[in-house]
Structure formats: structure tokens, C-alpha cells
Amino acid sequence: MPDQNGFMTIGETRQEFADAEARLLARPRSAYEIAGDLTPEEASATEAGYAALDTATDALAAARAELADANAAGEGWREPSAREAARIDDAERALRRATAAEEEARLDSNALQTRIGRARQERRNGADR
């Protein structure tokens, strides 16, 4: 109990910490929460998100390589031919699409991790009640 100045004694502080620890240890927790692991649903969603991100990243790298190849195909001292210009335009469009897809995959992955974090926090908060 705090004294008139609002301070607790050392013994009271220790007892408060001991009581809080006892409450934490007494709460029901799942095996996943105890181990700090993801639930099977969260793990599969995370794996799917990472796979989508890997696919998008690979597609972006391929689009960059195609654009570099298309730019290198022409000779630097003359204007590109109509076919070369069309190939460069196609490669630039593919790069824009791949960049947008990769960004979308990153945003989805971040949103998934945020949802998982919130769900874990809700499980912890629900167990404390």
C-alpha cells in the first residue's frame, strides 16, 4: 500500500511483482503461445505469403533482366529500330507490372504479419481476463 507520498516500501514492491508473476504463470496458455510458435493456420498463411513474395520478387528480377537485355540489344550510336523500340516498350511495361505486383505482395505480407501479431496479442489479452 503506498504511503502518504505515494511510494511503496521495497517489500510491497517485491510482493506486487511476485503477485503479477503468479497471475501470469496461472493464466491458461496454448502450447503455441508457450513455445512462442505460430499456430498451424498462421504458419501456412505465412508460408503462402512468403511464396507469393518470392514469386513476385523473381518476376521483378526477370523483368529487370529483360529490360537490360532489350536496351543492350540495340547499338548505342543509332536510334533503335521499330522492333527494338517495341521490345523495349514491352519490357518497360512488364517491369512496371512486376514492380506493382512485388509491391502488392510486400504489402500483403506486412498486413498478414500485422494480423498475426494482433491475433497473438488478443490471445494473450483474452487469457489475462
Q: What is the pLDDT of residues 49-65, one digit of tens each?
A: 999 999 999 999 999 99
CA dihedral of 75, 79, 85, 88, whole degrees rounded to 10: 50
Average of per-residue pLDDT across 119-124: 80
Provide CB contacts within 8 A for 108, sequence distance 6+.
49, 52, 53
Provide CB contacts within 8 A for 43, sequence distance 6+.
37
pLDDT at residue 14 tops 70: yes
pLDDT confidence of residue 77? 76
Grouping H, G, I as helix, E, B as strand and the rest as coil, residue 104 is: helix
For helices 40-73 and 82-128, the axis angle rounded to 10 degrees is 160
